[in-house]
Structure 1
Amino acid sequence: MRANLARHGRRLLVCRASAPSCAAYANPARRRPITRPVARRDFQRTFFNVLFQKPPREVRQPEYEPGWMQIMVWRSRMLDSLRPPPRRELVEAWKKLMQSKLKRRVPLNSTQALQCRRLLEYLAEPSNPEQVRPLSSAHLSMARQVLLDIEPQERDQNHLDLAKALHAVWSSGNFTGKARSPELQWSYFVKSLCRYGASLEAMQELCTKWNDPAYAAYLDKEDRLVEAVARGLAREGKETELVELIEYAEKHGVPYDAGTQAVMVVFFADLDRVPETQNWLSKPITQSYSQVEVYRAVASFAMRNGLQDWAMPLFLELGQSQPKKKYWDALSQAILLVGKGLGEVDTMMSHMVDRNGALSPDTHTLNGLLRVAVETEDAALGDEVLSLGAAKGLAPNGETYLILLQMRLATGNVAGAQAAYEQVKYLEPWNHESRPGLFDEYRQLLSRYLVFLSRESPPDFKLILALLEAVEEEQILLDPETVASLCLRFLENDQHFEVMDILSVHSFFFSEAQREVVQNAFIAFCLDRHTSTSRAWGGYQLLHQFFQDTSFERRSRLMEAFFDRKRPDMASHVFGHMRQHRNKSYHPKMDTYIRCLEGFARYPDPEGLGMVHNMLKMDTTIQPTTKLYTAMMLAYTACDKPLAALDFWNEITQSREGPSYASLEAVFWTLERKPGGDRKAREIWERIERMDLELPPAVYNAYIGAVAGSGNEKEVRSLIMDMSSFVGAEPDAMTLAVAHNALPGQELQARFREWAKKKYRNTWAELDKVGQRLNEYSLCQFKINRVMKA
């Protein structure tokens, strides 16, 4: 405080009353009259105001799936080497989680699969004399159903590891209850491998059991494992292995049938591989008809590749064979896809017959035609299909409106999408129609609808909130991309409670990879220069509250971003959250401390600096270095504490590592801001001269600034003129600006400007292009970008 008062007093004594020459470029602050609010004398009934005041909105508590928190508590205790919960509680937590999954039809995410695998291995270990029953066959069966019966959203190694652990427990027999045959458990294992991205391993399993009579029935009769593995290989894009499997199967007693044909034709048709598609389609099969999906895929394939003439005979042959109703529906869709009109479809409907007599179109026929309109993105065709259905007395059902919702979203029809959604919500086709997969289709479309609404300008927040209520009622888990998009729109509208509600409902159901999708959106929002600082800070606070797993690198970027926004107080809070994290891998490293301190050097914050310094003192993992001491010196100097900064210079000089060029520049900068600092600066400079060091211009400029800071204007001129003899470079605009800005008086600055304009005319002309301002002492300052680094 004394040094600060002395510095203020000294500068005021040196300053003159006359205005500086840069006053034309800057407007000094003027004293303005204080406007006082007019006192209100209105009578208010404060008792009733308090009585009927609207209560503040409560923050929603995070939601977790049943049993999941108990599993996470167990894992946390195991990591901390603490006593785990009793096994009976863990078995009950396993049961609750799997039952919740089967009831809500929500798949295991990657993180849950990882922890469930670890828990399964723990529970399967032989227990101590403690009399606790292990997992039963029913518990294992529930996990198998979750893996195989619910369509996954993620397919990764964690799911595979869980499937392998399940199979190992089944094989060991370490469970209670009825055990199924090992052949059946093996077939479940192979299906799990195919489902979660290990079809090559599943193929190897098939080959090892191929000649075993006990497993023969599972290859092509009961579980059709050859077809299942082929579908897995096709999904993973393993073309060579897929062809090898089908050829191997044919050579070893498993015929090429309609199922394997569907896999091969659809695979190559989706890739628009014409010769391969035609070859696998023409290859004879053991059944009379190909599967319906084959005709549908061939029709789309023919439309994309201009092969309508090649495909038409195939469809005519199908119609002449009097197939079942589902084939007629596929045929009507194929006719539209190969370029025929709806009139031809109408005519064909009157000739639909199977071997039992005439057939009539129904709502399923109508829905199939609508899906063609969606595929071709032809809204007019969709309206014509609806008109045709009305003419034939076909009433639309819930699936019809589900398809219409998809069509309206594709064409950007907001009103039409809302009308279709209301009908879908009212009819709930997934509860009243037998077609599988409708609920998952509805979930995906609802996510798309919300993203569509969030991208409208301006968004209809009232409608979005109504849809989110429906999502919560139906216990639908939105996609992470949808959650991210909605959160950003609400953040832009300053609706933080809505963001908290969305994250409370969904974020804790996501896996680590899915949570990263939402985190990335928040971080991009906070880092965007177009985002206001207040909104960026609000976004960070929500990120800190809901995503404690935000990576160390992302936190460091956020800290630097708030420094760039000239908010060191916010940056110091980000740093503090890193230091207080319970996971030590998130704690600041040496480089983090240095970057934070360099931020304080650019944008001073004494309170934040004190907090970071105290954390550094208590951080036993950090061993101070010259670079760290230099950063501390810069930060304390910027916060007008040059005496404290010089303490770190003493630490540097007494350390084994010794000073660096950066620390020399920093100490001269400190002495520039310290009254009487020129004496110490000359002592340091004499040592440098005795050591005959080659100095960079930045260090010499800093020395000039230290001498100028004490008002030695004539000595500064001499140092500038002798600069080339010391550093081998002529003075530049930075040299003149540092000297000018450091001089502590208006008269001193005026004399220096007059001298520099004559002596270094061209260099000063460059400096004149730089903006100028008045500091708190009414001294002229060039707006140079003098970045101090440790």
Structure 2
Amino acid sequence: MRAHVARHARHFVVRRASSSHSLFAPIPRRRHLSPHTLHSNHTQCRNFFGVLFQKPPREVRQPEYEPGWMKIMLWRSRMLDNLRPPPRKELLQSWRDLMASKIKTGQPLNATQAMQCRRLLEWLAGPIPEGEGGKPLANSDLDAARRVLLLIEPYERSEAHVQLAKTLHRIWQSEEITGKREDSTKSWSYMVLGMARHGASREAVQELYAKWNEADYKALVSGENKLIEKVAQDLAREGHEQELLQLYARVEEDELQLAPRLHEIITMFYAQNNRVPEGKEWFAKPMPIEGQVRAETYYAVASFARRNGLQQWANPFFEELMERQPRKTHWHVVLQAMLLMGEDLSNVRKTLLSMQGPNGPLTADTSTINAMLDVACDTLDAGLADEILAIANEESIRTDAETYLRLMSLYLAAGSPPATVDAAFERFQEAGALEPDAPMQSWAQYAQLLNRYLLYLTRQRPVDFKAISKILKVMEEEMLHLNPDTAAALCLRFLENEQTYDVLDILSANVFRYSGDQRDLVQQAIMSFTLDPQTSTARAWNAYQIMKEFFQDLSRERREAVLRAFFDRKRPDMATHVISHMRQHSRMDVQPTIDTYVSVFEGFANNPDRQGTENVHNMLKMDVRIQPDTRLNTALMLAYAACERPLYALDFWNEIKFSAEGPTYGSLAAVFWVLERKSDGAKMARDIWAKIESMDLEVPANVYINYIGVISAQGDEKEVRGLVTKMASFTGVEPDAMTLGVAFNALPGDDLQASFKEWAKQQYPVQWTALLKKRKHMNEHGLCEYRISRRVCA
């Protein structure tokens, strides 16, 4: 009955520890409180009126999950634990909810979501479990995922996305899918596009070659859906030059109509990578089929010419373009090229007012001004931007929200003062911001710009938290999300400013939308704050609490780093809480290993805490995964000896002696260190030393120094002198300041210390002088001690 009650009580404690309220768990107090602390004025100030009129704590924002995502994660967790999954009908609805949310908000699938959605898709496409009704997957379910993969610009490009694209195609071909079936060739094209878009363009082009000559795929390969063009763009984006050239050769050989577009893609590839000979050759090279070169290609070439001093080479191309009297988009690139080539702004203005298109004069408008501002943004020339805006004002050309977004981008990239950036942002809002029905790409660019602005503000000193709060409020109203690097930087600044609630809000709203790698970026920022020695202990504890709650996947290695940090801060009580949280964790890869326990007991040895040592030892006893070895028993011996329990510590020495592994040099150094604290430890130490001598072992210096400490503690000062003198013959190294300090500190009397001091000054003057540089203090027995760093380890 008692075991039953204990088990349920433990579950209750674990549940309470994992609830949101534990974020505000009090900082563990040091256990030895003085009477002054217990009767401080702070305690006396708590009265009825203070409680009655106390401001209620701010509510923590509830974690925000994308629709359907938590149900999918619950399914995955239950599958891993071999438990009954949620009803299939609910999981299918969760799939639909997640995809609908992605399409509505324009948020891409992150790598973790892509991986778990692929697994769920394979499960949903399998046999329907016995006893469950419901319909099989519909074509519309697969189409929604395809739209998310292909229509939303990805933030991450991973193998998980590629595998999802392949799985969609495979299941599309299944006989179990209901609804109007897609043509298999079209489904294949979606797979190829998905692969190329998410980092597998080389594999995608091989898929193209495999179907190149098949009659059923001829229409797609020849240019329908711009399949080859998009694969070529992804090859260029990933830098696969040879594959790109081979694809072009294949297209040109078959005289396909899309050869000119690939010609432009290759030209832009060389131009953007500043490949001067190739860039000049490909742009001047006649197109396989006569056609109008796109404005974006002309702009890439103009920018390429500016960066590489090729203005004279490029000018004739743009003069020829002007003579053709092109469309307005090409006139815009002519104006851009003039600015890039360093043309006087008055000449640019004349050209702007005299544009002639195929059907007559063209009037400059907002898009013209915005195109010219793109040059100022690319060249980081704020002065040029001001002159362009002056032209717009003089010619009564209206500016719009896009204008001020460009100015913000320019000022951020140029490192302009925050007030300048803020003024542009205010003008953007006055101009009406973005319309709700604006293209998804415009909203994505807007979100990226606000993220850049926030990152910019976090780098300013001092940090303008008022401006940060304003931008965060705008993003919340517009339902825009923080990038992982932005969230990480904001968390760091808010932690430094003790704005814990703001950190919680950021994590609640964003971190559960991130993939594993993205979450890791935020973890690293909070970890760096927690481990920074300049961070106060209270703040470090709060940061750890936040990590524990929001990052259940916090790795064992990082938790162990936090453990060591709290020991370094002389807070073994906090370290005890950390290992307790590890022990209670459900994941095996987070629970403590034998190395973790060794590290903790070594920490207790250097920062004594009897209650903490006993608590962790009890955890160890109940941990059936751990089989104590010599190293772990050594660490236990050190921890209990530091807590003034040398007799109990020697029980672990007996375990070591009779174990199959036997003693190590570490355990020998440890047992001498323990015996130094035992009133009659010299007898046992001499017996151990006699065995060492009889075995003719090579003795490390730390073992020998600890043996000197035992003999010194017994007050045999003459024997200590002899041991110090013989040290080189046993260890191969001469006595140093540490050797003399251990011997001096352990001697139990002023007269013994004075005698040893006089002898050491004469025999080892250099080493003694080095020891004198150490600080001194009086121990609990009123004897002088030098503060020497005598850290012990197993």
Flag structure 1 segments of 5+ consecutive residues without an equivalent.
Answer: 1-30
> Are the structure 2 counterparts of residues 730 and 403 from structure 1 closer, same or farther at C-alpha, using a change threshold of 3 Å?
closer
Matched ranges for 1:384-395 at <5 A = 384-395=387-398
Q: Aligned equivalents of 1:374 and 1:726: distance in 2?
A: 73
> Are the structure 2 counterparts of residues 589 and 435 from structure 1 closer, same or farther at C-alpha, using a change threshold of 3 Å?
closer
Q: Aligned equivalents of 2:201 and 2:544: distance in 1?
A: 42
Aligned with residue 199 of structure 2, among 197, 200, 222: 197
Q: Aligned equivalents of 1:724 and 1:337: distance in 2?
A: 76
Matched ranges for 1:666-677 at <5 A = 666-677=670-681
Aligned with residue 682 of structure 1, among 681, 686, 693: 686
State the shift of 1:320 in Å.
0.9
State the shift of 1:658 in Å.
1.5
- Report the residue type matching 2:127 in the other structure: P
Higher relative contact order (CA 8 A, sep 6+): 1
Aligned with residue 601 of structure 2, among 585, 597, 601: 597
Aligned to 2:221: 219
Aligned with residue 625 of structure 1, among 609, 614, 629: 629
Confirm whether residue 553 of structure 1 aligns to residue 557 of structure 2: yes
* Alpha-carbon contact 2:492-2:529 (below 8 Å) kept: yes
Q: Aligned equivalents of 1:50 and 1:740: distance in 2?
A: 56
Confirm whether residue 375 of structure 1 aligns to residue 378 of structure 2: yes
State the shift of 1:454 in Å.
1.2
Aligned to 1:67: 68
* Alpha-carbon contact 1:258-1:291 (below 8 Å) kept: no
Matched ranges for 1:527-566 at <5 A = 527-566=531-570
Instruction: Give secondary structure in 2 for the equivalent of 1:781.
Output: strand
Q: Aligned equivalents of 1:34 and 1:393: distance in 2?
A: 73
Aligned to 1:92: 93
Question: Which digits, 9 at most, give the CA deviation of each residue in 1:630-658, with x for residues without a partner?
Answer: 11111111122111111101111111222
* Alpha-carbon contact 2:251-2:259 (below 8 Å) kept: no
Q: Aligned equivalents of 1:167 and 1:441: distance in 2?
A: 31
What RMSD, in angstroms, separates the aligned Cα atoms of the two structures? Answer: 2.4
When structure 1 is superposed on structure 2, of 315-324 and 729-738 the one drifting more is 729-738
> Are the structure 2 counterparts of residues 177 and 701 from structure 1 closer, same or farther at C-alpha, using a change threshold of 3 Å?
same
> Are the structure 2 counterparts of residues 734 and 456 from structure 1 closer, same or farther at C-alpha, using a change threshold of 3 Å?
same
Instruction: Give secondary structure in 2 for the equivalent of 1:584.
Output: coil
Question: Which digits, 9 at most, give the CA deviation of each residue in 1:134-153, with x for residues without a partner?
Answer: 12111111111000010000
When structure 1 is superposed on structure 2, of 452-461 and 599-608 the one drifting more is 599-608
Aligned residue pairs, count: 758
State the shift of 1:732 in Å.
3.0
Aligned to 1:82: 83
Confirm whether residue 443 of structure 1 aligns to residue 447 of structure 2: yes
Aligned to 2:21: none
> Are the structure 2 counterparts of residues 190 and 726 from structure 1 closer, same or farther at C-alpha, using a change threshold of 3 Å?
closer
Confirm whether residue 716 of structure 1 aligns to residue 720 of structure 2: yes
* Alpha-carbon contact 1:633-1:649 (below 8 Å) kept: yes
Q: Aligned equivalents of 1:190 and 1:456: distance in 2?
A: 45
Confirm whether residue 245 of structure 1 aligns to residue 247 of structure 2: yes
Question: Which digits, 9 at most, give the CA deviation of each residue in 1:497-547, with x for residues without a partner?
Answer: 110110111111000011111111122222223333332222222111111
Q: Aligned equivalents of 1:105 and 1:324: distance in 2?
A: 32
- Report the residue type matching 2:388 in the other structure: V
Instruction: Give secondary structure in 2 for the equivalent of 1:172.
Output: coil
When structure 1 is superposed on structure 2, of 329-338 and 436-445 the one drifting more is 436-445
* Alpha-carbon contact 1:257-1:287 (below 8 Å) kept: no
> Are the structure 2 counterparts of residues 597 and 432 from structure 1 closer, same or farther at C-alpha, using a change threshold of 3 Å?
closer
State the shift of 1:455 in Å.
1.4
When structure 1 is superposed on structure 2, of 109-118 and 254-263 the one drifting more is 254-263
> Are the structure 2 counterparts of residues 175 and 322 from structure 1 closer, same or farther at C-alpha, using a change threshold of 3 Å?
same
Aligned to 1:359: 362
TM-score under structure 1 normalisation? 0.92
Aligned with residue 307 of structure 2, among 271, 279, 304: 304
Instruction: Give secondary structure in 2 for the equivalent of 1:437.
Output: helix
* Alpha-carbon contact 1:220-1:227 (below 8 Å) kept: no
- Report the residue type matching 2:321 in the other structure: L
Q: Aligned equivalents of 1:285 and 1:721: distance in 2?
A: 92
Q: Aligned equivalents of 2:436 and 2:281: distance in 1?
A: 41
* Alpha-carbon contact 2:776-2:785 (below 8 Å) kept: yes
Question: Which digits, 9 at most, give the CA deviation of each residue in 1:165-199, with x for residues without a partner?
Answer: 11111111322111121121111111111101111
When structure 1 is superposed on structure 2, of 523-532 and 402-411 the one drifting more is 523-532
Aligned to 2:105: 104
Confirm whether residue 422 of structure 1 aligns to residue 426 of structure 2: yes
Aligned with residue 465 of structure 2, among 457, 461, 466: 461
Q: Aligned equivalents of 1:180 and 1:427: distance in 2?
A: 44
When structure 1 is superposed on structure 2, of 96-105 and 768-777 the one drifting more is 768-777
Matched ranges for 1:284-323 at <5 A = 284-323=287-326
When structure 1 is superposed on structure 2, of 248-257 and 470-479 the one drifting more is 248-257
State the shift of 1:352 in Å.
0.8
Confirm whether residue 397 of structure 1 aligns to residue 395 of structure 2: no
Q: Aligned equivalents of 2:436 and 2:78: distance in 1?
A: 46
Confirm whether residue 782 of structure 1 aligns to residue 782 of structure 2: no
> Are the structure 2 counterparts of residues 657 and 335 from structure 1 closer, same or farther at C-alpha, using a change threshold of 3 Å?
same
Aligned with residue 185 of structure 1, among 155, 162, 187: 187
Question: Which digits, 9 at most, give the CA deviation of each residue in 1:406-460, with x for residues without a partner?
Answer: 1222232312211222333454554268666211111111001011111111111
> Are the structure 2 counterparts of residues 524 and 51 from structure 1 closer, same or farther at C-alpha, using a change threshold of 3 Å?
closer
* Alpha-carbon contact 1:231-1:263 (below 8 Å) kept: yes
State the shift of 1:32 in Å.
13
- Report the residue type matching 1:735 in the other structure: T
Q: Aligned equivalents of 2:35 and 2:625: distance in 1?
A: 52
* Alpha-carbon contact 2:672-2:707 (below 8 Å) kept: yes
Q: Aligned equivalents of 1:626 and 1:388: distance in 2?
A: 82
Aligned to 2:14: none
Aligned to 2:125: 124
Q: Aligned equivalents of 2:497 and 2:380: distance in 1?
A: 33
When structure 1 is superposed on structure 2, of 262-271 and 615-624 the one drifting more is 615-624
State the shift of 1:278 in Å.
2.2
Aligned with residue 657 of structure 2, among 629, 653, 664: 653
Q: Aligned equivalents of 2:225 and 2:43: distance in 1?
A: 82
When structure 1 is superposed on structure 2, of 685-694 and 591-600 the one drifting more is 685-694
Q: Aligned equivalents of 1:137 and 1:34: distance in 2?
A: 70
Q: Aligned equivalents of 1:266 and 1:160: distance in 2?
A: 26
- Report the residue type matching 1:121 in the other structure: E
Aligned to 2:116: 115
> Are the structure 2 counterparts of residues 744 and 138 from structure 1 closer, same or farther at C-alpha, using a change threshold of 3 Å?
same
Q: Aligned equivalents of 1:219 and 1:545: distance in 2?
A: 52
Q: Aligned equivalents of 2:305 and 2:374: distance in 1?
A: 17
Matched ranges for 1:12-51 at <5 A = 46=48
Q: Aligned equivalents of 2:37 and 2:553: distance in 1?
A: 48
State the shift of 1:725 in Å.
5.0
State the shift of 1:287 in Å.
4.5
State the shift of 1:473 in Å.
1.8
State the shift of 1:74 in Å.
0.4
Aligned to 1:583: 587
State the shift of 1:734 in Å.
2.2
- Report the residue type matching 2:153 in the other structure: E
Q: Aligned equivalents of 2:80 and 2:698: distance in 1?
A: 54
Aligned with residue 261 of structure 1, among 253, 260, 263: 263
* Alpha-carbon contact 1:63-1:504 (below 8 Å) kept: yes
* Alpha-carbon contact 1:106-1:150 (below 8 Å) kept: yes
> Are the structure 2 counterparts of residues 45 and 659 from structure 1 closer, same or farther at C-alpha, using a change threshold of 3 Å?
closer
Task: Give the percent of matched residue pairs that are identical in Structure 1 and Structure 2.
Answer: 50
Question: Which digits, 9 at most, give the CA deviation of each residue in 1:579-619, with x for residues without a partner?
Answer: 22211011222222222221222222222212221121112
Question: Which digits, 9 at most, give the CA deviation of each residue in 1:314-343, with x for residues without a partner?
Answer: 111111111111111111111101110221
When structure 1 is superposed on structure 2, of 205-214 and 441-450 the one drifting more is 205-214
* Alpha-carbon contact 2:106-2:440 (below 8 Å) kept: no
> Are the structure 2 counterparts of residues 696 and 128 from structure 1 closer, same or farther at C-alpha, using a change threshold of 3 Å?
closer
Q: Aligned equivalents of 2:433 and 2:332: distance in 1?
A: 20
